[in-house]
Chains A and B, each alone.
Chain A
Amino acid sequence: MNTNYIRIIAVLAYVILAPILGAFFDGLDRKISARMQRRVGPPITQPLHDLKKLFAKENVNVNKAQSFLILSYLVGTLIAGALFFSGGDMLMSIFLFSTSTMFLYFTGMVATSPYSTVGANRELLQALAYEPAELLTAVGFYLAVGSFKSLDIVSGKWSAILFLPGFFVAFVFILTIKMRKSPFDESTSHHPHQELIKGITSDLGARNYAIYTLTEYYENMYMLGVVALFFVNSNPWSYLGAVVAIFVLYFLEILIDNSSARVKSELMIKQAWWVTFIAAGLNLLILMLIK
């Protein structure tokens, strides 16, 4: 009974707090990026102002299906994240995330803009690059803890990272792709005026773009949740360690974003798969031998 309450609270906290936390992280990102470029930068609350304005503006639909598809992307991501934070099956939530990514792909494809179409195709390439590492991470957790359920993983005696350092490296590598950070911001970018203008989001109207941004926040918080899963165990102090790890990793992502140029998508897939197969694959072999 007690765990059920905690699970409900965790889901509610995810649904309500994830956009706020996501906006906070985004604001922090813009501020730190500005300071890295010797600029003052916008206030940390800037993403909230942007969201508020985008939701209030007149919405333009290039294709009638766009609004439906982008809403499906939001709902799919919400369900997948809620499943993960309620202590449910991690493998299932990863599959649900892949499904919602398909909705984003179709949102890009139904628009007529060539930038949007190329962006949508690159979104698929990105999925191709990060999917193996994501799935292997779930397999790694299963081998280390004996369960795909995130509730079982957090109540283990030891932090999972002790058994899964290679999986952690692979997961951090694909985190750059998932968060759409340079050098792997293939399908769309936070910084406009590159060869794809805004990529997959080029033909999204103001409100649809706001929904897309909101969904990105939900997805980023889920990814940071998986990072936390590597560190958390039954000891309450491990939660503090997870928070520290998240902030360190986020700073690292900003640093990589600001110090590298975009690579070709073929190179992205090659690098992501090599890192996945070497780091996570070796870890997998060792785990299978000692367990």
Chain B
Amino acid sequence: MGNVKKSPWLLHYDGSSCNGCDIEVLASLTPIYDAERFGVINTGDPLQADIFLVTGGINHQCQGVVKQLYDQMPNPKVVVAVGICACTGGVFKETYNILGGVDTTIPVDVYVPGCAARPQAIIDGIVKGIDLFQRRSDERDRLIKEAKKNGKVTDEVMAEIDARINQIKVDPSVKAPEDAGKIKEIPTGGSEE
């Protein structure tokens, strides 16, 4: 499929977050951090998304929703858990209504801890996710090509391939570009105080 890392589309879902991390996720798209320059689009549609970004711990009410959103996303896909609640359950870990982090429900690839996670950390996590997305899609191409050589590509073969590419682990050495987390000097207009 070639170069896909220039167009990572995000699906943002708020599990049981206090909205702290959600605001930081949105802050990544504001003029100061401007994640859109990497081609990131915050899409609301799981059928067209590549990276699933979850904030907040998982409880019984949102477990089914998270699972369904994950299943609706087309392969290859990557899951990023943002904030300490999404990573482990955070301070709510022992409460009766919280199951724990996102990995209690779906496989998580990138963990971005923090309470709330800073935009710099979120962008760093997304960039790691983008790299993983590219490697998974390359591997998927290779496996499909191989399967085509061996015969007809059935749904079972595709399911096996997708299960295999989802085993690929994130490369922790991948870093965001130097200027990604740098706060830009924004010229103030006349109307601002």
Query: A255 to nearest B CB, angstroms?
Result: 17
Q: Residues of B contacting A205 with CB < 8 Å?
A: 47-48, 74
Given the contacts A39-B36, A41-B37, A198 and B4 also touching, CB distance less than 8 Å: no
Contact indicator per residue, chain B 146-162, by CB within 8 Å of chain A (1) or not (0):
00000000000000001
Inter-chain residue pair count (beta carbon < 8 A): 89
Task: Count B-side interface residues using an 8 Å CB cutoff.
Answer: 29
Check: B173 CB closer than 8 A to any chain A CB. no
**A192 in contact with B74 (CB, 8 Å):** no
For chain B, residues 1 to 59, give those with C-beta under 8 angstroms from any C-beta of chain A: 1-4, 6-7, 9, 31, 34, 36-39, 41-45, 47-48, 50
By a CB distance below 8 angstroms, the chain B residues around A202 are 45, 47
Is A60's CB under 8 angstroms from B34's CB?
no
Give the residue of B2, B34, B72, B74 whose beta carbon is less than 8 angstroms from that of A41.
Answer: B34
Interface residue count for A (Cβ, 8 Å)?
32
**A193-237: which residues lie under 8 A (CB-CB) from chain B?**
193, 197-198, 201-206, 209
Contact of B47 among A39, A41, A192, A203 (CB under 8 A): A203
Any B CB within 8 A of the CB of A291: no
Contacts of B4 in A (CB 8 A): 52-53, 56
Pick from A38, A43, A201, A206: contact of B31, CB under 8 Å: A38
CB pair A56–B7 under 8 Å, yes or no, is no
Complex Cα–Cα for A192 and B49 (A): 12
| Interface SS majority for chain A | loop
A residues in contact with B37, CB < 8 Å: 34, 39-43
Chain A positions within 8 Å of B74 at CB level: 57-60, 205-206
A46 on the B face (CB < 8 A):
yes
Chain B residues near A (Cβ < 8 Å) = 1-4, 6-7, 9, 31, 34, 36-39, 41-45, 47-48, 50, 72, 74-76, 137, 162, 186-187
Q: Which residues of A contact B (CB under 8 A)?
A: 30, 34, 37-43, 46, 49-50, 52-54, 56-60, 62, 192-193, 197-198, 201-206, 209
A sample of 12 cross-chain residue pairs with beta-carbon separation below 8 angstroms, ordered by A number, consists of A34-B34, A34-B37, A46-B6, A52-B2, A56-B137, A58-B75, A62-B47, A192-B42, A203-B47, A205-B48, A209-B47, A209-B48
